[in-house]
Amino acid sequence: MREAWDAIVIGAGLGGLTAAAYLVKAGLRVLVLDRNPHIGGTAYVYHRKGFVFPMGPLGFSHLDLVQNTLKDLGVGEDLRFTRVHYQIRALGLDLVLSLPFTDLVKEFSKFFPADAGAVEQFFKHMDDWISKSKPDQGHDISASDYLHNLIKDRRLRRILGSIGTREPYSGLPLLAAMWNLMGHEGIWFPYEGMQAFSERFARAAIGNKEKRSEIRLNQEVAKIRVDQGKASGVVLMDGVQISSSSVISNADYKTAFLKLLDPKTIPPDWHEAVSSARQTDSVFQVCLGVDTSKADLSAFRKASRLIYRRHGENNQERESLNWNVQEIDPGALASQELEVSLWGRNWEMVSPGGRASLVIRAEAEYNHFAKYRLGWRQRSPNYQEYKRRLAHALIREIAHLVPGLEKAIVVMDVATPLTFEDQGGRSGGAVAGWSWDYENFRDDQPKELIGTPIKGLYMAGYQAFSALFMGGIPTAIESGKRAARAVLQGMGPLQEILIPGVK
């Protein structure tokens, strides 16, 4: 007899778990399937020699949305949070960025007196976008063009336009959303650790007396079944077929549409839109378990997240890397913008007495590393040695911030875009959904991408909105709520293609 459920959720990430929890709350029988041995996707942790490291997010924003959702599902008890702060240590500046806008105006005006009036105008415009009042500038201008006309100092244009050291790349509404997360909403960290969200949503989904739901790990979906234009279940890698009247894919769009669906079941224009849509880049990540008695961590006194970039000769930064070469020069990678995090500094599980977990991240392109991929979690022989060389270059660079770091390392773990693809199911290792570049996203509000052209098939997760205006974790949680609502309301197939970048 073929197994049957009311709904199947593909992927036990935060979006999928949230959707499952709400469907179970509404009385449906729900099956969650994930190919990994753990829940949470990249919103989880892993262990190395007694240290705990992140698989993905280092924090989250929109605290009220997260807390209210957990409470609504009955799993929000006794969950405490601490505010995470960001500091820029680059371009000749040493400045905390996660401050109220009024404080940022004062601080930036001290460093850039010639642009003091322009800085005040900039943050006024950011507030206008955030409050949804009518801004002086429309969304039909890029952040780069806007700042070029407003700000004289090139360093300041970079900081305001990217909240870092990059040239501005997005539109104004998305830039305002990012400053809103940084200055108003704040970035937060749960004392229980980032895995607490996944564990609590999983408890909400399976903690019912009727046993109406189930989470099965190490169960990979090979195909989404579609009969006469309607989703009817899934086929597992071992050939087992499971039926359901609705399917929610917590896998991203490219995985769902290009790998799990038969091309014959997808309208050609949808297939082309998903295939050509651009995503954000990935990251190269180095996680370090550190003996704090041997390293000076005073650089993190004001903030636990540092945006760092080395100054070259004449205070000029090296240009962007050419990722098309066979191997990146390790020193060139180390000269790029780096995010250095003393991760979970108040979380005893991460940093018990005398130890700390450091995370170093640099932007990286998936295609450069793709040549080392032989299959899921399979790499060519020279992959390990290459990524270690890159990692050691970043460590040597960060030793400028953390004296004694190299001798204090107890354990090192290195992840590339291939890791984020395999461990988190993120196509191309993309860490922030659809492309944020102005040429690909010009809307003043994110569009909901829950619906699909196939009846009974819905999307959840970080790509279920056209942009991460709220940040990754709250976006995934909100997508799960809406996907569950779509199932319960029987939302029909979607005709209009809203994927970013589609003309």
Same domain (yes/no): 131, 103: yes
CA-CA distance, 332 to 319, in Å (whole number)?
A: 9
End-to-end Cα distance, the chain: 46
The answer as to whether 442 is a domain residue is: yes
Same domain (yes/no): 403, 475: no
Name the residue with tokens 């990994």: 36
170 within 8 A of 441, measured Cβ to Cβ: yes
Which residue type does 237 have? M
The HSE-up count of residue 427 (CA atoms within 13 Å, CB side) is 23
The answer as to whether 500 is a domain residue is: no
Same domain (yes/no): 368, 223: no
The pLDDT value recorded for residue 315 is: 40
Q: Which two tokens stand for residue 492?
A: 């029909």
Number of domains observed in the structure of the chain? 3
Same domain (yes/no): 157, 141: yes
Mean pLDDT by 10 residues, the chain (503 residues): 88 97 95 94 90 92 96 94 95 96 97 98 94 64 95 97 96 95 96 91 82 90 97 97 97 95 96 95 96 93 95 53 94 96 67 83 97 92 97 97 96 96 87 93 92 97 94 96 98 92 74
Same domain (yes/no): 16, 50: yes
The HSE-up count of residue 4 (CA atoms within 13 Å, CB side) is 5
CA-CA distance, 157 to 118, in Å (whole number)?
A: 11
Collapse the DSSP code of 254 into the 3-class scheme (helix H, G, I; strand E, B; otherwise coil) and give the result. Answer: helix
242 within 8 A of 5, measured Cβ to Cβ: yes
CA-CA distance, 384 to 416, in Å (whole number)?
A: 10
Domain containing 233 equals 3-81+193-277+433-489
Q: What is the pTM of this model?
A: 0.95
Beta bridge partners of 225: 233
Same domain (yes/no): 259, 376: no
Domain stops at, among 377, 406, 429: 429
CA-CA distance, 420 to 429, in Å (whole number)?
A: 5
The pLDDT value recorded for residue 173 is: 92
Collapse the DSSP code of 8 into the 3-class scheme (helix H, G, I; strand E, B; otherwise coil) and give the result. Answer: strand
Same domain (yes/no): 335, 470: no
The answer as to whether 87 is a domain residue is: no
Domain stops at, among 157, 185, 213: 185
The pLDDT value recorded for residue 313 is: 40
Same domain (yes/no): 109, 179: yes
Same domain (yes/no): 162, 16: no
Beta bridge partners of 230: 227, 455
The pLDDT value recorded for residue 316 is: 47
CA-CA distance, 283 to 298, in Å (whole number)?
A: 26
